[in-house]
Structure 1
Amino acid sequence: MRRLVIALVVIILLGAALFALTRPQPLAVVVHEVGRGKVEATLANTRAGTVEACQRTKLSTIMGGRIEYLGVKEGDRVEKGQLLMKLWNDDQQAQANLAQTQIALAARRSDEACIAAANAESEAKRQADLRARGFVSPSKEEAARTEAAVRRAACNTSKADVAQAEAKLKATRVEQGRVSLYAPFAGTVAKIVGELGEYSTPSPPGVPTPPAIDLIDDSCLYVKAPMDEVDAPKIAAGQPVRITLDALPGQSLPGKVRRVAPYVSAVEKQARTVDIEVDFEKPEQAAKLLVGYSADVEIILAGRDKVLRIPTAALQEGGQVLVLKDGTLEARPVKTGLSNWEYAEVLDGLQEGEQIVTSLERAGVKAGVKAVADSAAK
């Protein structure tokens, strides 16, 4: 009997040890404590946006020719109206000199004709006085009046010749403008295509030829970004925006939506977007940015402070979360409000301080499973 009791005790101990060794261990999961904070409803661009200049022009001469004068270098600051580049135009200059000479000649001839007209008019008046006193015949008076009218007509014609010569000079200067480039606004020369003595060719219709001078006004910058067409109806001018740039890691600059494009861009058949333009709320913060920087925008549609919130990644399909309660995972439906990619507002279904699972991608994580909080993930 004693041996039998000892054998039973040994069997029971072995069974308990075997059970302890083979029973399933609680699953380690990463949890997040439900708390309060700020939640915003936001929209983000689908592809990287770009920092653009408010004014930018790519200048080319109307005519082709050899570069005779290049008054700027890349990176130079220029003033409005400053001459940037001029092509060889000695032939046009010669025409301008000829036109100026013709103006001077026409002006002298006009003076001569008008002096003669004034003398003829004085003579016609004198003949009229003599005719009234009976000293000359009517025919001689008539001849004097006719001569005065002819001289006055010649004077007027000579004045028209002066105006014609001046118009010819203006036309010549217009032709000279076809080979010269002037700054349409104050800015910075971004790029120059061509060197002194090289031939510059304007862009023919339909042929993308690089411009001679790329001029930008970097004193005024904005961000242009593509937004998904589905989000376009929610976007309006004046909405606040957060701007982030790869060139300024860890910083966000405030801005406002300035314009929403009135059409959809189909860059790719399956990626239709609407371009928006965003102004920097504090332009001085953008003063050192370069045109062409990549930028991301986050449009803030609405926001609430000190609301119950959970990580958006903890939400499962159907609006459920897994709650770790008394060592077991429990499925809990929740009602959410505002949300973004980071947080979702909880309107109903959870209490502050409860622990919800965020490591949903781990194998075996489901309702009813025994689990413990993964301390290594804290």
Structure 2
Amino acid sequence: MKQVVVVMVIVLAAVVWYASQEEPVLVPLHRVSTGVVEQIAANSRAGSIRACHRSRLALPRGGRVEQLLVAEGDRVKPGQLLLQLYDREQQVNLQQADVEVQLAQLERQQRCQSAALAKREQTRAQGLAGQKLLSDEQLDRLATDARVQALACQLATAQVARAKVILARTQVLLDEMQLRAPYAGIVAEINGEPGEYTTPSPPGVATPPAVDLIDDSCLYVRAPIDEVEAASLKVDQPARITLDAFRGQSFAGYISRIAPYVSELEKQARTVDVDVLFVQPPAGAVLLVGYSADIEVILARHDTVLRVPTDTLLEGDRVLRFNPDASRLASVEVQTGLRNWSWVEVVSGLRDGDRILSRLDTVGAEAGARVVAE
């Protein structure tokens, strides 16, 4: 009987002990390892792809559209004629100006030859006057005539110059009736059709361009970065470009320009516009001006350093490390280095191969809790 009582006491004690033990919590763990950690500055709002050269071309003179020589989407060469206004009157004016130049040149030729003849006659008269064969009055008359003829030659030369200026001005007016491509590119938009009238924009009033020309051989991303991070930016810093149109891909770039002023938009944080050029246009990817884009400027980079996911850090730079001997979580303070929203460099406090809690929102996962790894 005594032995039975002892056995019952032992069994009851075991039941009480097991009942007092908490159920282990099933937790996901992350194995600490080495990798790359970068300190980056990213745009605060979506940026967009822009062209290094984009011109909204318009004619300086108004008139009726005679010819439209390109269509939207056409590729053009530098100097290629895009649009032609009605210019027959200017063509006639150019012909008239050319004739005026020819007449002025003939007039100059006649006047200058007369001046040369008068000069020769004056020279011969001086010889005769030296032999007392010509009076002083006749010599004076011939000298005066030589000077008058010389002035007429100069006047005719000036008239030729004036006629050439008029011809050049007429040519300029004729050229203003033509719209040519200032560089190679693609025609993005055309406003106007043959037969329609086009007029230049009056001061202060914006009108649609006749031709919107884009040089898509040189593209960059302009995006705003918060003013707090802008102080760390420098021209030529490396950057990464990501596009919504090409998810899962990133393209190398570098800062080409930092705006010299801070933008203050209503209901928006103060930002600085940053331009990032593609190091090399992505092969096989057709980039369109206006695509939304994001940038990450690499401020610093450490290779092969101990790191943990950023979302595993508790307040005060602590992590919950798994103790395999006790099957419990322990709070460990770590010293950190570079960080971004994905990774944090661990300088001390953890070792390669340690396992830490990877999801802080796991119910019951806290320091001292008994856990079982998933």
TM-score (norm 1): 0.87
**Aligned partner (choices 30, 33, 47) of residue 32 of structure 1:** 30
In 1, distance between residues paired with 2:15 and 2:177? 98
Alpha carbons 1:221, 1:286 under 8 Å: kept? no
Which secondary structure state, in structure 1, belongs to the residue aligned with residue 264 of structure 2?
Answer: strand
Which secondary structure state, in structure 1, belongs to the residue aligned with residue 116 of structure 2?
Answer: helix
Query: Which string of whole-angstrom CA distances, capped at 9 and with x for unpartnered residues, describes residues 291-347 of structure 1?
Result: 222222222222222221111000112211222333333222211111111111111
Which secondary structure state, in structure 2, belongs to the residue aligned with residue 338 of structure 1?
Answer: strand
The structure-2 alpha-carbon separation of the partners of 1:252 and 1:159, relative to structure 1 and needing over 3 Å to count, comes to same
In 1, distance between residues paired with 2:65 and 2:16? 94
Displaced runs of 4 or more, over 4 A? 5-24
Alpha carbons 1:50, 1:225 under 8 Å: kept? yes
Query: Which string of whole-angstrom CA distances, capped at 9 and with x for unpartnered residues, describes residues 23-60 of structure 1?
Result: 75333322211222222222222222222222221111
Percent identical residues: 47
Alpha carbons 1:261, 1:274 under 8 Å: kept? yes
Are positions 1:345 and 2:345 aligned together? yes
In 1, distance between residues paired with 2:128 and 2:67? 69
Are positions 1:262 and 2:263 aligned together? no
In 1, distance between residues paired with 2:197 and 2:366? 73
Alpha carbons 1:253, 1:285 under 8 Å: kept? no
Alpha carbons 1:328, 1:370 under 8 Å: kept? yes
Which secondary structure state, in structure 2, belongs to the residue aligned with residue 266 of structure 1?
Answer: coil
Structure 2 gaps of 5+ residues are: none
Matching residue of 1:251: 249
Matching residue of 1:77: 75
In 2, distance between residues paired with 1:372 and 1:121? 120
**Aligned partner (choices 227, 232, 245) of residue 230 of structure 2:** 232
In 2, distance between residues paired with 1:104 and 1:181? 29
In 1, distance between residues paired with 2:266 and 2:14? 65
Matching residue of 2:164: 166
The structure-2 alpha-carbon separation of the partners of 1:317 and 1:84, relative to structure 1 and needing over 3 Å to count, comes to same
The structure-2 alpha-carbon separation of the partners of 1:338 and 1:275, relative to structure 1 and needing over 3 Å to count, comes to same
**Pairwise CA RMSD of aligned residues?**
3.0
Aligned length: 371
CA offset at residue 361 of structure 1? 2.4
**Aligned partner (choices 53, 59, 72) of residue 61 of structure 1:** 59
Report which stretch shifted further, 283-292 or 31-40: 283-292
Matching residue of 2:289: 291
CA offset at residue 187 of structure 1? 2.0
Matching residue of 2:149: 151
Which secondary structure state, in structure 2, belongs to the residue aligned with residue 307 of structure 1?
Answer: strand
Report which stretch shifted further, 299-308 or 199-208: 199-208
CA offset at residue 15 of structure 1? 11
Matching residue of 2:359: 359
TM-score (norm 2): 0.88
Alpha carbons 2:306, 2:345 under 8 Å: kept? yes
CA offset at residue 70 of structure 1? 2.0
Structure 1 gaps of 5+ residues are: none
Matching residue of 1:44: 42
Alpha carbons 1:280, 1:286 under 8 Å: kept? no
The structure-2 alpha-carbon separation of the partners of 1:212 and 1:17, relative to structure 1 and needing over 3 Å to count, comes to farther
Query: Which string of whole-angstrom CA distances, capped at 9 and with x for unpartnered residues, describes residues 69-94 of structure 1?
Result: 22222222222222222222333333
In 2, distance between residues paired with 1:229 and 1:320? 30
In 2, distance between residues paired with 1:43 and 1:286? 28
Matching residue of 1:104: 102
